[in-house]
Chain A
Amino acid sequence: MRAVAATGADASRAAFRSFVDEVVIPRAGDFDLAGAVPPDVVAEVAARGYLGAVLPDGPLPLDMVGLGALHEEVGRGCSSLRSLLTVHSMVAFAVHRWGGDAARERWLGPLADGSALGAFCLTESGAGSDVTGLAATAEEDGRGGYVITGHKRWITFGQVADLLLVFARTGAGIGAFLVEAADPAVRRAPVRDVLGTRAGMLAEITLIGCRVGPEALVGGPGTGLNVITGALDVGRYSVAAGCVGIAQGCLEISAAHAATRRQGGALLKDHQLVRRMITRMAVDTEAARLLCLRAGRLKDEGDPGTLVATCAAKYFAAGVAARAASDAVQVHGAVGCVDGHPAARYYRDAKVMEIIEGSSQVHENLIAEDVCRTGGVPRSASPAVPLQGLPPDETTRWEIA
């Protein structure tokens, strides 16, 4: 069975795959055991332009389909490293879309070349996908700036990020603020021994009276919810693609193991029940890839349908990754249950994918709301509305205050 997304004229995918095979996969187990992606790997990812790939004027101009291919391939090698691409892309996207001139001038270059790493600081003890419990505050300082106080949890790559996109309550609603991690009012503590994406360098981040200027505000003082929604769309797309990568990785190691391991006098690949698992992995992976491809194409076309399509892709791909990883461990048996084995790592990482960027249950709510509103009419049966596209140099601003 030939993977659809690998059949196009996408030479970039071959380069991504080669990088992952040569640089990431041989060391991904070590990253997992050490709980960190080493700086030299981050530097190589940055040098290749992968960190800034979400930016239209970045060092590696990719369309969204191409970005999905990049995140899939990196996800095949190491979900922790893919998580860096995810959160960094979310911050870069937010600065590009909603940042003011000063913020764009200051940060887009470093975010594009990776000299500054971004982290997305939304989650708190009482707030995540549901932001109603957001407790961090940003009080006006009387000079146009703000004083931010709050405690953020589970911040991916928060241990090493240079630029934090922090969400906090303002007098007008929720605001999004750029905070330099080196600010003395920012404290961060590593979170270790997590179930999956162990090299994701998670941190708890505490801001104690952190002062920022007016240029730190991304969007309006009350439009942070829209920044969250827009950035999450990028994050969900990235995670969906990364899940396809997990499933693809599970498929490849399972097929290889089944072709060499004998059981009961026959190779595993010749046992029908093993064949069933491998077949399910292959077909599920391809189906998830197609949903990602659809979401990416809609993004490239500027079609509003991409928002729900991305939710569908993330929801489905996360389930596929979890099932494929479970089956990969099953195919490998005891050897796949050991720390350091890729099947075990895929299994732990895949579970995390069903939780981050909106849990599977959150996605069930979002998708069901869309279906109930539209009546479930297939998209292809709806009349097409021709799109004119944005004028050159304009950016989409998905905000409604």
Chain B
Amino acid sequence: MAEDTRAVVGQFVRGKMPKVELGDDQDFFELGFVNSLFAMELVMFVENRFGLRVPNDELRRENFRSVSAISDLVDRLSPAREPVPQEATA
């Protein structure tokens, strides 16, 4: 499950910064690309892509700073979630 989530998250984030060689653990807030709109985009993506609600106490920068962090958040918030279909990551 974690690997599929990571692939989906990575596809979205890398699509938003295609000129950057972005590792899964790289903090993209530190790249200077994240303004208030992009931060909101990340939350919207997580909620609408994975059909879950990010509670207030999880809305912290450290949960959205990297592909890995976002993936961990998604898996933590949806432990019973079905695996992401493979075609969705293609």
Count of chain A to chain B residue pairs whose CB atoms are closer than 8 Å in the complex: 117
Q: Which residues of B contact A395 (CB under 8 A)?
A: 53
A219 to B55, CA, bound (A): 11
* Contact residues in A for B47 (Cβ distance below 8 Å): 302, 390, 394, 396-397
A137 within 8 A of B: no
CB <8 Å contact, A304 and B48: yes
Q: Could you say which residues of chain A place their CB within 8 Å of the CB of B61? A: 400-401
Q: Given the known inter-chain contacts A390-B53, A391-B52, please indicate yes or no for A223 contacting B59, CB distance below 8 A.
A: yes
B59 and A373 contacting across the interface, CB-CB below 8 Å = no
Contacts A307-B41, A390-B48, A397-B54 given; does A225 touch B18 at CB 8 Å = no
SS of B interface (majority): helix
Q: Mark B27-42, 1 if CB is under 8 A from A, else 0.
A: 0000001011111111
Give A161 Cβ to nearest chain B Cβ, in Å. Answer: 25
Number of chain B interface residues as a range: 35 or more
Shortest CB-to-CB span from B14 to chain A, Å, is 10
- Given the interface contacts A385-B11, A386-B88, does A230 sit within 8 Å of B40 by beta carbon? yes
Cα(A319)–Cα(B38), bound, Å: 24
Q: Tell me which of A302, A304, A370, A398 has the highest count of chain B C-beta atoms within 10 A of its own C-beta.
A: A304
Q: Which residues of B contact A9 (CB under 8 A)?
A: none
Select which of B8, B50, B60 is within 8 A of A400 by beta carbon: B60
Tell me, rounded to whole Å, the shortest Cβ–Cβ distance linking B82 to chain A.
10
- Tell me, in angstroms, the Cα distance from A396 to B51 when the chains sit together: 10
* A305-B41, A388-B51 given; A219·B56 CB < 8 A: yes
Given A385-B49, A391-B52: A374 and B43 within 8 A (CB)?
no
Contacting pair A373 B17 (CB below 8 A): yes
In the bound complex, CA of A374 to CA of B60 (Å) = 24
CB of A304 within 8 A of CB of B50, answer no
Expressed in whole angstroms, the Cα–Cα distance for A45 and B8 within the complex equals: 44
Chain A contact patch, size range: 35 or more
Q: How far is the CB of A244 from chain B (nearest CB, A)?
A: 22
> Do B60 and A370 have beta carbons less than 8 Å apart?
no
Enumerate chain A residues within 8 angstroms of B44, measured Cβ to Cβ: 302-304, 306-307, 396, 398
A1 CA to B53 CA, complexed, in Å: 44
Assembled-state Cα–Cα distance A391/B19 (Å): 34
Pick from A223, A375, A383, A397: contact of B19, CB below 8 A: A375
Q: Which of B32-90 contact A (CB under 8 A)?
A: 33, 35-45, 47-56, 59-61, 63-64, 88
A302 to B19, alpha carbons, bound, how many Å? 25
| Complex CA distance for A389 and B17, rounded to whole angstroms | 23
Pick from B12, B19, B37: contact of A307, CB below 8 A: B37
Kindly list chain B residues whose C-beta atoms are within 8 Å of the C-beta of A306.
44
* Chain B residues within 8 Å of A366, by CB: 35, 37
B59 partner, pick from A370, A382, A383, A397, beta carbons under 8 A: A397
In the complex, the answer to whether B59 meets A401 with C-beta atoms within 8 Å is: yes
Given the contacts A303-B48, A391-B52, A395-B53, A385 and B41 also touching, CB distance less than 8 Å = no
Q: Which residues of A contact B12 (CB under 8 A)?
A: 385
Q: Which residues of B contact A394 (CB under 8 A)?
A: 47, 52-53
- A sample of 12 more A-B contacts (CB under 8 A), given A229-B37, A399-B43, is A226-B36, A229-B39, A230-B40, A304-B44, A307-B44, A369-B35, A373-B38, A383-B11, A387-B49, A388-B48, A394-B52, A397-B55
